Structure 1
Amino acid sequence: MTEVLRLDAVSKVYGKGQGAVAALREVSVTIPGGSFTAVMGPSGSGKSTFLHCAAGLDTPSSGSVRLGGTELSGMDETRLTELRRQRIGFVFQAFNLVSSLTVLENITLPMRLAGARVDRAWLEEIVGRVGLAGRTGRRPAQLSGGQQQRVAIARALVTRPQVVFGDEPTGALDTMTARDVLRLLREVVDGLGQTVVMVTHDPVAASYADTVLFLADGRIVDAMTAPSSEEVAERMTRLGAYAA
């Protein structure tokens, strides 16, 4: 499998002197293409900082982040913005849709911001895969929460990104709707070869992934492949010892 994302000894420290807080401590991990990775850990373990550094939203204090062979450190904000627009997709807990735009306009927004041509065949495939055919003319307020998250997932996929980052993508959804969204993320990995990295606190959500990375006190302390929700939940209860 090709390597899509690589973190080498990434540390992130906020503040200086005695007030300094280490959010990440020499984290090294390789994410292969076409894989689904969940990142879990107690509150304050560094999950969000991991995602922000991996996605080029924040700059590590030390170490390196490579996306598809491109080194992110040393890039200025303009180049990082271009990279995120063209090569990274984002799905957040809050759907972050533009209420005045239609479903179709929300999905194609990244392309228009980048001044890129929309591939109509690809757009149709994405709309069909996320189950929004026939709803593309609606506004977000006319959709359920699950449908709005499907719009956000389609928007994340439309640029054919190298990796899609999910930040608690099912956190605002009820249990049944969350499972529909998780099945959809699983399908885009299996059916489209998409790479997905998802931060979550939910063992059930993590069980849809190929691999779960467990963070505690800013370090990756364990990893689990082919996880079940019961195994993940049990492992989470033992993370307290690392976080102490």
Structure 2
Amino acid sequence: MMTSEIDDIVRLDGVQKVYGRGSGTVTALAGVTAAFGRGTLTAVMGPSGSGKSTFLHCAAGLDRPTSGSVRFSGEEITGLDEVALTKLRRERIGFIFQSFNLLPSLDVVQNITLPLKLAGRTPDSALVSDVIARVGLADRRHHRPAELSGGQQQRVAIARALVTQPAVIFADEPTGALDTRTALEVLDLLRDSVTRAGQTVIMVTHDPVAASYADRVVFLADGRLTDELHRPTAEAVADRMTRLGAWDARPVGGRR
């Protein structure tokens, strides 16, 4: 499950995450080792409770591992203080979640450029316009979230992640709240960010079709990486998930 260290943008070594104490201890990650190459799209899959979101949060510097190492472009980040971690996330990492997390009082342009302003950076108007065009919202620049469909709101969230030109985009169920057609359009945008901009995307998903857009799928079960597929098809992913017992473990509606 390891790539060449020279090509790794994110690397986890022996990452363990334990919650609680004593009899209430829960091990969400049990010594996970994995690497993610530059300019690749990786899907992370597994049954409900397998540790997918914890894995993503530790890899992205949103949560600190109990033990083990997380490296970003070769730099150890597990020991960084909150100021340094915040700077790293603002400047080099993009986030896309199932909930769009848009500010209702801001229009499309204002929501997209908010991370730049929070980082004290002046938005490049040409770059902002390019990103808005890439996500198909050129005619919605001044609309507020309430005036947009769910798919359009997710496009704003993607544009917000892209505008900082991050090295890595972490996506947690980015298509989970979307209809099938809109979900495929969003996946095309994520795929394009890899092939066109050379960015790295690490995406948690429960959907085999979404996973088929990835270069590689890694499977988690009980806090451990158990298997992986390269150049996956939706059929192969579904078969592997069935053998993990994922379909039996999914809540009603397919959500985690």
TM exceeding 0.5: yes
**AA aligned opposite 2:67:** S
**AA aligned opposite 1:172:** A
Provide the alpha-carbon RMSD of the alignment: 1.5
Q: Which residue of structure 2 aligns with residue 198 of structure 1?
A: 203
**Contact conserved, 1:146 with 1:173, CA < 8 A, in 2?**
yes
Q: Which moved more, 1:83-92 or 1:122-131?
A: 122-131
TM-score using structure 2 length: 0.92
In 1, the alpha carbon distance for the partners of 2:30 and 2:133 equals 42
In 1, the alpha carbon distance for the partners of 2:113 and 2:38 equals 24
Residues 1:123 and 2:128 are matched in the alignment: yes
Q: 2:119 aligns with which of 99, 114, 134?
A: 114
Residues 1:161 and 2:166 are matched in the alignment: yes
Q: Which residue of structure 2 aligns with residue 134 of structure 1?
A: 139
Q: 2:31 aligns with which of 26, 32, 48?
A: 26
Q: 1:172 aligns with which of 174, 177, 186?
A: 177
Q: 1:134 offset after TM fit, Å?
A: 2.1
Q: Secondary structure at the match of 2:218?
A: strand
TM-score using structure 1 length: 0.96
**Contact conserved, 1:97 with 1:140, CA < 8 A, in 2?**
yes
Q: Secondary structure at the match of 2:139?
A: coil
For residues 26-47 of structure 1, what are the alpha-carbon distances to aligned partners after superposition, in whole Å with 9 as ceiling and x for unaligned?
1111101110000000000000
Q: Secondary structure at the match of 2:138?
A: coil
Residues 1:149 and 2:151 are matched in the alignment: no
In 2, the alpha carbon distance for the partners of 1:20 and 1:139 equals 44
Q: Which residue of structure 2 aligns with residue 15 of structure 1?
A: 20
Q: Which residue of structure 2 aligns with residue 99 of structure 1?
A: 104
In 2, the alpha carbon distance for the partners of 1:103 and 1:240 equals 41
Q: 1:88 aligns with which of 75, 90, 93?
A: 93
In 2, the alpha carbon distance for the partners of 1:91 and 1:64 equals 24
**AA aligned opposite 1:142:** E
Q: 1:75 offset after TM fit, Å?
A: 1.2
For residues 71-100 of structure 1, what are the alpha-carbon distances to aligned partners after superposition, in whole Å with 9 as ceiling and x for unaligned?
111111222111111111000001100010
**AA aligned opposite 1:201:** H
In 1, the alpha carbon distance for the partners of 2:83 and 2:39 equals 28
Q: 2:220 aligns with which of 215, 218, 224?
A: 215
Q: Which residue of structure 1 aligns with residue 241 of structure 2?
A: 236
Residues 1:62 and 2:67 are matched in the alignment: yes
Q: 1:223 offset after TM fit, Å?
A: 0.6
**Contact conserved, 1:68 with 1:162, CA < 8 A, in 2?**
no
In 1, the alpha carbon distance for the partners of 2:83 and 2:210 equals 34
In 2, the alpha carbon distance for the partners of 1:131 and 1:193 equals 20
Q: How does 1:43-58 map to 2 (within 5 A)?
A: 43-58=48-63
Q: 1:240 offset after TM fit, Å?
A: 2.8
For residues 188-233 of structure 1, what are the alpha-carbon distances to aligned partners after superposition, in whole Å with 9 as ceiling and x for unaligned?
1111111100001111111111100000000000010111111000
Q: 1:120 offset after TM fit, Å?
A: 2.2
Q: Which runs of 5+ in 1 are unaligned?
A: none
Q: Secondary structure at the match of 1:134?
A: helix
Q: Which moved more, 1:195-204 or 1:69-78?
A: 69-78
